[in-house]
Structure 1
Amino acid sequence: MRARTSRIIRTLAGLTAAGGMLAALASCASGPASHAKPQDDRPVVLTTFTVLQDIAKNVAGDRLRVESITKPGAEIHGYEPTPGDIRRAEDADLILDNGMHLEAWFEKFVSGLDVPHVVVSDGVTPIDISEDAYAGTPNPHAWMSPDNAMIYVDNMVRAFSKLDPDGADDFEANGKKYRAELAEVKNELQTGLAELPEAQRALVSCEGAFSYLARDTGLAEKYIWAVNAEQQATPQQIASAIDFVKDRKVPAVFCESTVSDAPMQRVVEASGARLGGTLYVDSLSEAGGPVPSYLELLRHDSRTIVDGLTGAGK
């Protein structure tokens, strides 16, 4: 009898110890020591592409959560939104788009959404496209000019201050700091490209995305197609680019990261120019890539153009 009683006592003690361990584990899982990711309650700003996201992050600082609909490396012109994108937009507090007909899908994307959106290119003096089916419409790549990017920044400062009035002073200070960085990059661009000999001051690219940069730096511009929405070069477009390169004896030509350089390779083969490198316009790279930020995008393109046209990149 004593032995049986002893076994019962030991069993109850074991059960008590096991219950204590389970309670302790439950406490660790749900108590203050939990490693669950804290909820981010900051207002959400959703941008259409990564370049705008990076500029907006610099203006927003830590007060807002800034996201991009498209991922690094994505082609923005012909992007097709997913159901997940729609859900993210519905949950956003503010949507930023470039405007100037860049995001051809955007108007349909936001129709029916009760979410405010701001066109960050408002106030930019547009350069009209001069060739192809897009002739007479604004060239949408206004951010390729640091001067225009400063207008983007001012529009974001106003939009963010309206969204989060308590952060208005922070947004103003962040915008001022970022404008100073843009001015520094503008000086670097103009200084670097000004060193090009007159005969080499021509920028030939796949897409006509560099009109604003060419204007700011005094480069003649030639492209195969006006907007990446085409991406299929016609024989006439190829022939026109070949004639331009031959007539001006342009030493190097370029193509953008988001499209195939096959059409430009045909220009290279027929003209004797070399492919000078890859330029970035519509998208940043991943964090470890060549253009993880908008400022680095501008610097990379400037170096690539100068090295390509002077032969330093050979």
Structure 2
Amino acid sequence: MSRMLKLAAAVSVMTIFPAALATASAENLKVVASFSIIADFAKNVGGDRIDITTLVGPNGDAHVYEPKPADAAAVGAADVVLVNGLQFEGFLQRLVEASGIKAPVVELTKGGEVLKSAEEEHHHDDDKTAEGEQKHEAGEEGHEQAHEGHHHHGEFDPHAWQSVHNAEIYVKNIADTFCAADAAGCDTYKANAEAYGEKLDALEAEIKASVAEIPEDKRVVITSHDAFGYFEHEYGLKFLAPEGVSTESEASAADVAALIKQVKEDKASAIFLENITNPRLIEQIASETGIKVGGTLYSDALSDESGTAATYIDMMKHNLSTIKGAILGS
């Protein structure tokens, strides 16, 4: 049995659903996902019982996304809206206000293990595990407050899906949400979630075994923005980044100079582009440190269907194989 089913992280959902849902069980659940990774989780749980709209699509950057009128229409017509939370979707509050939404907006990081953001860690870096990791229990009532100051980095790092353990919590929360919205499909949603959870368990085992093959003195890499803190925390690679947890932040010349100094001290093994960020900074750092660019990582968005990271599982495997190949030269 998947460990996912043993997690007791209940989702807080509002119970405002269109009355028609109760009688029109043959009609698919209308689901809006804020970005592509959540959409992939939802497809694995919902199968052919849901119709899904993704706001920030493949290779899109949710940190700087500007909603379109069609997005407000989709949110307004939705039965369920699935979001990350932790101030990841800076556009969300404006979109919710523009849409006249009646459906629940469910933060999928609820119940997960969340880490302090890099900015917070500068103030609390004496013990990252004790200080930085805690359960996220913010519910609907904190939603508006959480998104008011979206141009500022939040207290927590929002990229929780980079831990497979947290991905399992996202999936359980989605199954619970779909069950609440469509009771007739609940057994299907739970069975789908369990089957997908077993794939996630296998993925996590594969990641841990693969990282173990990288020598400990070669586990330092550089990426564009600070999106891999959970991967670092869970699996033992160290990621350095010139930007903070949001691509809205601009790295200053002093930040870049400090990073270059740190790279030389820590003997970083590889440097990577990201699919959502401008390559200029990374190319500058590569040229000044002599470290070659080892490829492109997928952090906040999947690739398109023809790419190597079209699903969450493919994304995690691609990232690890790219990192490992660049470090070991294979």
Q: CA deviation at 1:136?
A: 6.8
Identify which of 298, 304, 312 aligns with 2:316.
298
The residue that corresponds to 1:189 in the other structure is 207
CA distance in 1, matches of 2:317, 2:275: 15
The residue that corresponds to 1:79 in the other structure is 65
Identify which of 222, 233, 236 aligns with 1:215.
233
The residue that corresponds to 1:120 in the other structure is 108
**Aligned residues with identical type, % of pairs:** 32
The residue that corresponds to 1:270 in the other structure is 288
CA distance in 2, matches of 1:159, 1:52: 13
SS in 1 for 2:293: strand
TM-score (ref. length: structure 2): 0.79
Q: Which digits, 9 at most, give the CA deviation of each residue in 1:19-46, with x for residues without a partner?
A: xxxxxxxxxxxxxxxxxxxxx9312110
Q: CA deviation at 1:147?
A: 0.3
Runs of 4+ with deviation above 2 angstroms: 130-136, 227-233
CA distance in 2, matches of 1:178, 1:297: 15
Q: Which digits, 9 at most, give the CA deviation of each residue in 1:75-124, with x for residues without a partner?
A: 11110001111111111111000001100111221124222111111011
SS in 1 for 2:53: strand
CA distance in 2, matches of 1:79, 1:135: 16
2:226 alignment partner AA:
G
Q: Which digits, 9 at most, give the CA deviation of each residue in 1:163-201, with x for residues without a partner?
A: 110111111111111111011111111111111112111
Q: CA deviation at 1:74?
A: 1.0
Number of matched pairs = 273
CA distance in 1, matches of 2:162, 2:318: 12
| Root-mean-square deviation (Å) | 1.7
2:160 alignment partner AA:
A
CA distance in 2, matches of 1:254, 1:59: 32
CA distance in 2, matches of 1:281, 1:259: 10
SS in 1 for 2:113: coil
Larger radius of gyration: 1
TM-score (ref. length: structure 1): 0.83
2:113 alignment partner AA:
T
The residue that corresponds to 1:255 in the other structure is 273
CA change 1:69–1:230 in 2 (3 A) is closer
The answer as to whether partners of 1:199 and 1:248 remain within 8 angstroms in 2 is no
The answer as to whether partners of 1:222 and 1:241 remain within 8 angstroms in 2 is yes
2:35 alignment partner AA:
F
Q: Which moved more, 1:106-115 or 1:126-135?
A: 126-135
CA change 1:149–1:45 in 2 (3 A) is same
Q: CA deviation at 1:231?
A: 5.2
Q: CA deviation at 1:288?
A: 1.0
Which blocks of at least 5 consecutive residues in structure 2 are unaligned? 1-25, 123-150
